Amino acid sequence: MSDTANEVMRLEALRKSYNVGLANEIEVLHGIDLSIGRTDFAALIGPSGSGKSTLLNLIGLLDKPSSGELYLLGQATHGMDDAGRTALRGNSIGFVFQFHHLIQAFTAIENVLMPLMLAQGKPDKSAVQRARDLLAEVGLEKLADSKPNQLSGGQQQRVAIARALVTEPALLLADEPTGNLDTQTASEVFELFRRFNRERGCAVLLVTHDPRLSATCDRTIDLVDGRIVSDVVHGKAKLA
Ligand code: ADP
Ligand code: MG
């Protein structure tokens, strides 16, 4: 994993504080070193409040670290301006949240097309076809023209996954993507991540509280109180 060409993402001594300069300033990530390989399928676990969402938001360029460096596809992000960060995020990252954040006024396929529309305006025919193909891959081809409120929770999360993948990201980040679903639906949605990792070669880093699901990942990274306390690949300890 130290081979840079095989890395999708690398963190070096990453720190994050909130409320900087105020009486309630708090450092929540205390120097994280982490590398994610281009085909990794990794779970990020740890107690509530340990900094998992903070870490994912930093990796996804939704927030900025207080210090340290984040490399995405070999590019250092520290000195980048907002336009550069937005472009890199759009090209390389897909994000799935616990709550899908679909736009209720839009149909399923319009929601899937959203990231492309933000990046390049009106989608062309090939973009629309890609969105249709993705909806088919998540089992929703017949529901492409449905509004979110006509879909079940599991179906809505499938739309959100298709939306995250429409830009063909190198890294898919998911923050408790099954936390809001029943066990059976959660397993099905999880299997989708698995399939996209296998078939599209997209790296996946997902936060889950479900030990049953994290056990099926290739790698488990355990974050406690803002520090990685274990990083296990195929049952073998990688870092302590
Ligand atoms: P997790 O996702 O593991 O539950 P979070 O990353 O959400 O953890 O939170 C880590 C710590 O940072 C918690 O103590 C939380 O209260 C704090 N925190 C998160 N977001 C903010 C914020 N915007 N401002 C201040 N503190 C925050
Ligand atoms: Mg969280």
Domains of the chain, by residue range, sit at 4-233
Instruction: Please choose, from the candidates 86, 234, 117, the residue with its C-alpha nearest in 3D space to the C-alpha of residue 77.
Output: 86
Residue nearest to atom 18 of ligand 1 (CA): 18
Q: Which CATH number fits domain 4-233: 3.90.320.10, 3.40.50.300, 1.10.645.10, 3.10.20.810?
A: 3.40.50.300
pTM (two decimals): 0.93
What is residue 240's predicted lDDT score, i.e. its pLDDT?
44
Please report the atom of ligand 1 found closest to the CA of residue 51. Answer: 6
Ligand 2 center–CA 188 separation, angstroms: 22
Q: By the 8 A CB rule, do 73 and 92 touch?
A: yes
Cα of 52 from ligand 2 centre, angstroms: 5
Sign of the Cα pseudo-torsion (190, 195, 198, 200, in order): negative
pLDDT tens across the length of the chain (240 residues): 446 779 999 999 999 999 999 999 999 999 999 999 999 999 999 999 999 999 999 999 999 999 999 999 999 999 999 999 999 999 899 999 887 789 999 999 999 999 888 877 888 899 999 999 999 999 999 999 999 999 999 999 999 999 999 999 999 999 999 888 888 888 988 899 999 999 988 999 999 988 888 988 999 999 999 999 999 997 555 554
How far lies 209's CA from each of 128, 184, 214, 216, in Å?
Answer: 35, 15, 8, 13
Contact indicator for 117, 123 with CB cutoff of 8 Å: yes
CA–CA gap between residue 194 and residue 82 (Å, rounded): 32
Residue 53 in contact with ligand 1 by CB distance below 6 A: yes
Task: Check if the beta carbon of residue 114 is closer than 8 Å to that of residue 94.
Answer: no
Query: What confidence score (pLDDT) does residue 120 get?
Result: 77
Task: Report residue 181 as tokens.
Answer: 């679903």
Q: In this structure, which ligand is nearest to the CA of 223? A: 1
Q: How far is CA 198 from CA 83, 94, 163, 170, 193, in A?
A: 32, 16, 18, 13, 9
C-alpha 186/C-alpha 35 separation (Å) is 27
51 in ligand 1 pocket by Cβ < 6 Å? Answer: yes
Best probe residue, ligand 1, of 27, 32, 53 (max atoms within 8 Å of C-beta): 53
Residue 164 C-alpha to ligand 1 middle, in angstroms?
24
How is residue 112 written in tokens? 């899937």
The CA R_g of the chain, rounded to the nearest whole Å, is 18
| Spatial distance between the Cα atoms of 23 and 158, rounded to a whole number of angstroms | 42
For residue range 21-73, list pLDDT tens digits in order. Answer: 999 999 999 999 999 999 999 999 999 999 999 999 999 999 999 999 999 99
Q: Decide: 172 and 96 in contact? Cβ < 8 Å.
A: yes
CB-CB neighbours of 68 under 10 Å: 17
Q: How far is the CA of 21 from the centre of ligand 1 (A)?
A: 17
pLDDT at site 84: 94
* DSSP 8-state symbol, 81: -
Query: How far does residue 19's CA lie from ligand 2's centre (Å)?
Result: 18
